């Protein structure tokens, strides 16, 4: 079986958990006898291709002449959405882009015969333009390759997946790693919602990373439950060298690691930390990440008078993430809405007792992480304090958590995905 897979990022060049999940999934599929052609907007050449063949969309010559986005979309019969579909853009950049749009300063979208488009592969101001051009290139790639099924990861690649399906007639599987409701709560960007819904409707099968996400897909997007299948993520620690660290502080360390955005619940972490310090002053807190709530979080920490106990590291990746876990005595993920959440698995693998919100997909597969409602600051503070003050509780969480996470393997998840492929192919 061969799959044409569309992604946006792939290790070592990643901006979050999506690239890590794609890497683990492709390795697992290879072990299950599935050949993967993995398309990404901009490949650097240093990606691990032991389990996949990377196709760099920036190196593909486009055969069609498309003078506008609308012209291409009319050819493959799907709906174009507005260029403000950019949830990863910071507010200042977003505002600048809208101003340019209102002044009519955006360049016309053009792709000419045998032209190559150099994608940035980033989440910047031209994101929607790149998403649209990626779909144009996807149609060319689909016509030039043999495969059995198409697999598109997250909303950035749904247009590409639809384009590939329309020009080849092959079945489309889309993978929902997050929805606009996870990113924005109830104040959703309707353009993003429409694009996500279109991808789900066009797909022959929809894979969700948790039952939590499955329920959102069915109830919020109106998708037939019969074609929505949950496949939980896993974690891969193979090929990692051992690291050692020397701590520069004597105090215990409690870590928050993730985007500092509404979805991840950083404000609840700060309020709970303030309560913990009143009971257990011999502790430091780390917020590792970046995002639109970072400045507000820094101001809140200062207002509470706990700045000397808080550290903001900025965005971490690769070995720096692993080192952060080795520095930590407790890991906390208080997400308001988390489709899955791989970081708790990484923390538990690193022998760090873990606290997660009940509003996370990973809570469905973990028994030995402490679970609380994201909004229950008192419960979160009590859980932190308990792991700090009672070594027996911490030791039990470490030992049982390690055994549990070792059982969550990408090979098993990939076997379920392969079954979804088979079902999608047989339904055509």
Determine if the pTM surpasses 0.85. Answer: no
- 345 belongs to a structural domain: yes
The β-bridge partners of 253 are 284
CA distance 366 to 343: 13
Query: Cβ neighbours of residue 346 under 8 Å, at least 6 residues apart?
Result: 235, 321, 322, 325
Residues 203 and 74 grouped into a single domain? yes
Q: Are 309 and 334 in contact (CB under 8 A)?
A: no
CA distance 24 to 342: 11
pLDDT of residue 81: 41
- 242 belongs to a structural domain: no
In percent, the amount of the chain with pLDDT more than 70 equals: 84
pLDDT of residue 13: 72
Residues 73 and 198 grouped into a single domain? yes
Residues 224 and 271 grouped into a single domain? no
- Which domain CATH number covers 397? 3.40.50.2000
pLDDT of residue 120: 62
Q: What is the enclosing helix (H) or strand (E) of 253?
A: strand 252-257
Residue-wise pLDDT for 329-368, tens only, equals 999 999 998 898 888 998 998 999 999 999 999 999 999 9
CB neighbours of residue 217 within 10 Å: 25
Residues 92 and 106 grouped into a single domain? yes
Nearest to residue 225, comparing CAs of 208, 209, 239?
208
- 41 belongs to a structural domain: yes
Query: Cβ neighbours of residue 330 under 8 Å, at least 6 residues apart?
Result: 252, 253, 254, 255, 352, 353, 354, 355, 384, 387, 388, 394
The β-bridge partners of 288 are 257, 314
CA distance 318 to 251: 25
Ranges under pLDDT 70 in the chain:
15-16, 63-115, 117, 120-126, 237-241
CA distance 120 to 329: 38
Indicate the pairing of strand 252-257 with strand 330-333.
parallel
Residues 22 and 96 grouped into a single domain? yes
- 281 belongs to a structural domain: yes
Q: Is 205 helix (H, G, I), strand (E, B) or coil?
A: strand
Residues 377 and 421 grouped into a single domain? no
Residues 214 and 154 grouped into a single domain? yes
pLDDT of residue 238: 66
Q: What angle do CA 312, 318, 323 make, to 5 degrees?
A: 60
| Cis upstream peptide for 12 (omega within 30°) | yes
Residues 209 and 317 grouped into a single domain? no
Residues 276 and 215 grouped into a single domain? no
CB neighbours of residue 102 within 10 Å: 9
Please give the tally of structural domains in the chain. 2
pLDDT of residue 249: 82
CA distance 70 to 381: 53
Query: Cβ neighbours of residue 364 under 8 Å, at least 6 residues apart?
Result: 210, 211, 212, 232
- Residue 268 half-sphere exposure toward CB, CA atoms < 13 A: 25
CA distance 428 to 85: 32
pLDDT of residue 84: 37
pLDDT of residue 121: 59
Residue 244 — left, alpha, or beta (φ > 0 → left; ψ -120 to 50 → alpha)? beta
Residue-wise pLDDT for 248-285, tens only, equals 788 999 999 988 988 899 999 999 999 999 999 999 99
pLDDT of residue 92: 41
User: What single string gives the DSSP state of each residue in 209-234?
Assistant: SSHHHHHHHHHHH---GGGEEE----
- 239 belongs to a structural domain: no
- 243 belongs to a structural domain: no
- 240 belongs to a structural domain: no
Residues 152 and 39 grouped into a single domain? yes
CA distance 54 to 63: 20
Which domain does 14 fall in, by range?
2-234+410-426
- The dihedral built from the CA positions of residue 80, 85, 88 and 94, taken in this order, carries a sign that is positive
User: What single string gives the DSSP state of each residue in 56-107?
Assistant: EGGGPPB-S-BSSHHHHHHHHT-----TT--TTS-HHHHHHHHHHHHTT-SP
- Residue 29 half-sphere exposure toward CB, CA atoms < 13 A: 27
- 245 belongs to a structural domain: no
DSSP one-letter code for 49: -
pLDDT of residue 315: 87
Residues 194 and 291 grouped into a single domain? no
Residues 331 and 373 grouped into a single domain? yes
CA distance 332 to 315: 16
């Amino acid at each position: 079986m061969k799959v044409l897979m569309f992604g946006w990022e792939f290790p070592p060049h990643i901006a979050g958990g999506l690239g890590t999940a794609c890497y683990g999934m492709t390795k697992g599929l290879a072990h299950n006898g599935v050949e993967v052609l993995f398309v990404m907007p901009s490949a650097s050449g240093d990606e691990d291709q032991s389990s996949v063949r990377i196709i760099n969309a920036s190196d593909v010559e486009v055969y069609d002449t498309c003078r506008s986005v609308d012209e291409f979309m009319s050819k493959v019969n799907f709906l174009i959405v507005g260029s403000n579909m950019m949830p990863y853009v910071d507010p200042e950049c977003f505002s600048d882009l809208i101003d340019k749009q209102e002044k009519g300063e955006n360049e016309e979208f053009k792709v000419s015969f045998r032209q190559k488009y150099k994608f940035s592969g980033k989440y910047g101001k031209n994101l929607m333009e790149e998403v649209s051009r990626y779909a144009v290139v996807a149609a060319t790639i689909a016509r030039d390759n043999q495969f059995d099924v198409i697999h598109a990861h997250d909303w950035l690649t749904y247009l590409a997946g639809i384009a590939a399906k329309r020009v080849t007639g092959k079945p489309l599987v889309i993978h929902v790693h997050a929805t606009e409701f996870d990113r924005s709560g109830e104040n959703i960007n309707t353009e993003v919602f429409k694009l996500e819904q279109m991808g789900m409707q066009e797909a022959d099968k929809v894979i969700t990373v948790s039952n939590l996400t499955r329920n959102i897909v069915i109830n919020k997007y109106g998708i037939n439950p019969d074609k929505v299948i949950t496949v939980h993520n896993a974690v891969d620690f193979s090929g990692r060298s051992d690291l050692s660290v020397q701590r520069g502080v004597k105090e215990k360390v409690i870590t928050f690691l993730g985007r500092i955005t509404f979805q991840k619940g950083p404000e609840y972490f700060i309020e709970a930390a303030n309560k913990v310090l009143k009971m257990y002053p011999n502790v430091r807190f780390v917020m590792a990440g970046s995002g639109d709530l970072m400045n507000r979080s820094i101001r809140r920490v200062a207002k509470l008078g706990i700045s000397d106990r808080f550290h903001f590291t900025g965005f971490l990746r690769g070995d720096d993430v692993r080192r952060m876990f080795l520095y930590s005595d407790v890991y906390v993920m208080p997400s308001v809405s988390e489709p899955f959440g791989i970081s708790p698995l990484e923390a538990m693998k690193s022998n760090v007792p873990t606290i997660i919100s009940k509003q996370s997909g990973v809570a469905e597969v973990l028994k030995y992480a402490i679970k609380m409602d994201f909004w229950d600051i008192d419960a979160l503070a009590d859980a932190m304090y308990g792991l700090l003050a009672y070594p027996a509780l911490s030791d039990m969480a470490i030992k049982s958590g390690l055994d549990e996470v070792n059982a969550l393997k990408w090979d098993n998840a990939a076997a379920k995905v392969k079954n979804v492929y088979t079902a999608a192919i047989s339904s055509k």
